[in-house]
Structures are given as C-alpha cells and as structure tokens.
Amino acid sequence: MTDTVLRVAGISKRFGGLQALSDVGLTIERGQVYGLIGPNGAGKTTFFNVITGLYTPDSGTFELAGKPYTPTAVHEVARAGIARTFQNIRLFADMTALENVMVGRHVRTRSGLLGAMFRTKGFKAEEAAIAQRARELLDYVGIGRLADFKARTLSYGDQRRLEIARALATDPQLIALDEPAAGMNSTEKVVLRELIDRIRNDGRTILLIEHDVKLVMGLCDRVTVLDYGKQIAEGSPYDVQRNEKVIEAYLGHSHKPTQALPTGDAT
Ligand SMILES: Nc1ncnc2c1ncn2[C@@H]1O[C@H](COP(=O)(O)OP(=O)(O)OP(=O)(O)O)[C@@H](O)[C@H]1O
C-alpha cells in the first residue's frame, strides 16, 4: 500500500503576461526524495512558493498526508506539515544556531504568548524540552559544536545545514529544500548528500529543487522536470535523463543520452 504525503494537481500561476506554471501536478510518497529540476526560469521556485503559501495560485488542488490543505499563509502551511529552506538562506543572523532551531520548534509549542510573558512553570519546562530537541537536531545535521555561535558567523555550508535543522524542528510531513547545494564546494556537497540520505533513511520525505543535476540523479527516487512552467517529464532519474524533451530543454538540441544533462561536481 502506498502512503502519499503530497498530492497536488492542476497548479497554474500567472504573473501578468507570463504563465509561470501551467497545470502542474505531482504525487510524493512517504520516504521518497523527490526532485524538481528544470532550466533557469522554468518555474521551480514559483512551484515551491505556491505549495508553501508564499504565492496564491490561480488554480490547483492540494493534499497533505491525505488531507486537503489550502496554501494561503506560510505559518498555516508550516503547521499543516511542510517545512522549507530558501535558495537565499533566511536565518536570524544575530541569533545563535540553537535559537534559530528553537524558533522552528515553536510551530509545535503550546504555552503561547501569555506563558512566555509570565514565564509560567509550563512554559519553562517546554522551553527546556525545545532547547534539548534543538541541540539534538544540530548534532544530527553535524553542527552541534556551533550551537552557541551566531548564525551570521557560520560558514555557508553550515548555514545551509542550520536551515535544514530548523526545518526538521517543525516535525514536518514534507521537507522542501530549495537549492541546498547552491554555493557549496564539492566536499560540502558530499556531506550534504549524506545528510539528505540520512534524513530519508530516518523516514522523512523530501522535495528538492537543485541545479546540480548529478546530485539530483544520485539522490532522488522520482524527478519532475519543468520547462517554461510546463511539466515535460516525470519518472525515475534513469528515464528522465534519457527523455528527449528533457535533453532538448537543457541543451536546445538532441544529444546522446549519456551526454544528456549537465553534471555538477558532486560525487
Ligand atoms: N514574483 C514574480 N513576479 C513576476 N514574475 C515572476 C515572479 N516570480 C517568478 N517570476 C517569473 O516566473 C518565471 C519562473 O521563475 P522561477 O523563479 O519560478 O523559476 P526557477 O525555475 O526557480 O528559476 P531558477 O532556476 O533561475 O531559480 C520566470 O520567468 C520569473 O521571471
């Protein structure tokens, strides 16, 4: 029996005269790493922004873990169970790594504002539990030693891992990673790949936008390819790499399958 985490269908989004997404749909099963690729301007980020409530779609249906959801507000989507990272890292630069992860965890807390203001017993116990969980997550992504450093002082690769820890802190049904390898060197990419693999092996479900096609092909169970807002292919990495439309989209003309797609330098 399959266990579907995300099912979206018929998503369209227009910006003025530009059709950024046309009738896009995909289904992600629990435990999959699902890749979304396509040339620059294909609509990948727009798709992420639509499913996470940053953009209102013109049409589309959305279902998370079998329940319909309406992606109208970012915090509602986070509460429903989708956590994301951003192409341009969005951390609280002057907060510590630990505090950044704790912020993510607050999506799931109960004490609320009054508890925080009056520092009730329940609030203090909850804060201690949140801090403990945040430390575990920092260890999990490999930056536990940096817990008390301000986010702005972390290296680029470590900031990206911190974003992933913060996303995991919300206990998401689906974690959406927007170009996690951007700006990483090849060593950092290897570490990232191991981390994504570990997250999957621990039962999480991941949606990934990534320009490094080699990384995508090595990691993903399924891949969707967008071009000019249209879904031109969906399938296993093996099939997608050999799809004529995909080869056209990337290279502008036919090529041998083995040379089909640009490869990054991840191993
Ligand atoms: N807020 C916006 N207003 C107007 N046009 C937009 C907006 N956001 C995206 N677009 C346009 O929609 C199209 C798809 O952009 P999008 O950023 O989704 O592509 P992408 O596949 O993520 O590209 P890249 O790989 O370069 O990040 C582009 O032509 C872009 O200029």
- What ipTM, to 2 d.p.? 0.96
Nearest CA to ligand 1 atom 18: 43
Report the residue among 13, 14, 18, 46 best suited for mutation to probe ligand 1: largest number of ligand atoms under 8 A from its CB: 46
Does the Cβ of 44 fall within 6 Å of ligand 1?
yes
Residue 57: CATH number of its domain: 3.40.50.300
| 232 within a domain of the structure (yes/no) | yes
What is the tally of structural domains in the chain? Answer: 2
Nearest CA to ligand 1 atom 25: 40
Residue with tokens 């504002």: 113
Report the residue among 13, 36, 45, 54 best suited for mutation to probe ligand 1: largest number of ligand atoms under 8 A from its CB: 45
Ligand 1 nearest atom to the CA of residue 55, by list position: 1
Q: Is 57 in the same domain as 183?
A: yes
Q: Is 180 in the same domain as 267?
A: yes
Full domain range(s) for residue 218: 1-81+173-267
Are 206 and 199 within 8 A, CB to CB?
yes
Residues forming a β-bridge with 176: 84, 207
Q: DSSP per residue over 201-267, as a string?
A: HTT-EEEEE-S-HHHHHHH-SEEEEEETTEEEEEE-HHHHHT-HHHHHHHHSS---GGG-S---S--
Q: Which of 211, 263, 257 is nearest to 238 (CA)?
A: 257
Residue type, 134: A
Nearest CA to ligand 1 atom 6: 15
| 66 within a domain of the structure (yes/no) | yes
pTM for the structure as a whole: 0.87
Predicted confidence pLDDT, tens digits, the chain (267 residues) = 569 999 999 999 999 999 999 999 999 999 999 999 998 899 999 999 999 999 999 999 999 999 998 888 888 888 889 998 887 778 888 899 999 999 877 666 665 555 556 666 777 777 788 889 999 999 999 999 999 999 999 998 899 999 999 999 989 999 999 999 988 888 889 999 999 999 999 999 999 998 888 888 899 999 999 999 999 999 999 999 899 998 888 766 444 444 445 544 443
Nearest CA to ligand 1 atom 17: 45
Q: How far is the CA of 18 from the centre of ligand 1 (A)?
A: 10
